[in-house]
Amino acid sequence: MTYCLAIKVDDGLVFASDTRTSAGVDDVRTYNKLHISETAGERVFVVLSAGNLATTQWILNAIRRDLDQPDAPVSLRSVRHMYDAAEYVGTLSVRAQKESSAYGQYSNVDFRTTLILGGQILGEEPSLYLVYPEGNCISVSPETPYLQIGESKYGKPILDRIIRPSTSLEDATRCALVSLDSTMKSNLTVGPPLDVAILPRDALRITHKLRLDIDTPYYAALKKAWGENLERVFRNDLPKFEWEGDPQQHSML
């Protein structure tokens, strides 16, 4: 399974993903699900992927092939707007699935993949798009300034509580890591190492790219602090029932 997310705040974009692709008793595999394409000072794109690995690799190879061909009809180098980039990636996804499913012996295989495309083109706002297997796409909104793909349910509550357009990039990054950690706590098919990329507004380059494992000092400290503070708040700071602390009332129940 997979869990990837991307967050848009006023200061820029944050991308994060796990790397686990299988989690059998004796078969744990990892695969990079965060992919970056930069043209310094002009444009930067990040793709997050969840779904069939063969389809994902087909799409990524097609993107690279078109980038290497100056006469390609469409590429991430030539699109004028982020929405055009999302449509281009969606078209590649549909083609990849159609070609893969054409082989009859794989009729029972699910070739679908879902993608998040984010980035910025010079002169435009930073943008995030969710690209569905059917090729269509949607963007984030001020009310929900994040996107998730894969095993999203466990990591969603913290995003809903914390993420606002005014949230700083650093706080958004910490929130993304807590979201991933919460998911890993409840689902073994999502696992480390974790990949993080930060794109500040108008930087037109990824300024920070991190890979964090369980024993990476920063991630270990964040995980420990989050768990301990959650327990402290639960035990000490939540309001008590009216009968708590009154032994006489408690004995009458």
CATH code linked to domain 3-239: 3.60.20.10
As to burial, measured by CB atoms within 10 angstroms (0-12 exposed, 13-18 middle, 19+ buried), residue 197 is buried
Q: How confident is the model at residue 247 (pLDDT cuts 50, 70, 90)?
A: low
Is residue 69 pLDDT above 80, yes or no? yes
Strands 34-39 and 12-17: unpaired
**Predicted confidence (pLDDT) per residue in 189-239, tens digit:** 788 899 999 999 999 999 999 999 999 999 999 999 999 999 999 999 999
Specify the DSSP class assigned to residue 236.
I
Residue type, 141: S
Q: Specify the higher pLDDT residue, 125 or 21.
A: 125
Burial class (CB in 10 A: 0-12, 13-18, 19+), 91: middle
pLDDT of 26 reads 43
Dist. CA 17–CA 2, nearest whole Å: 8
pLDDT, tens only, 92-132: 999 998 887 766 555 677 889 999 999 999 999 999 999 99
C-alpha span between 139 and 117 (Å, rounded) = 9
Radius of gyration from C-alpha coordinates of the chain: 21
Phi, psi torsion values for 196, nearest 5 degrees: -135, 140
Q: Across all residues in the chain, what is the average pLDDT? A: 89
Structure tokens at 105: 């012996």
pLDDT on residue 22:
56
- Distance between CA atoms of residues 106 and 160, nearest Å: 39
Angle between the N-to-C axes of helices 53-68 and 82-101, in degrees from 0 to 180, rounded to the nearest 10: 130
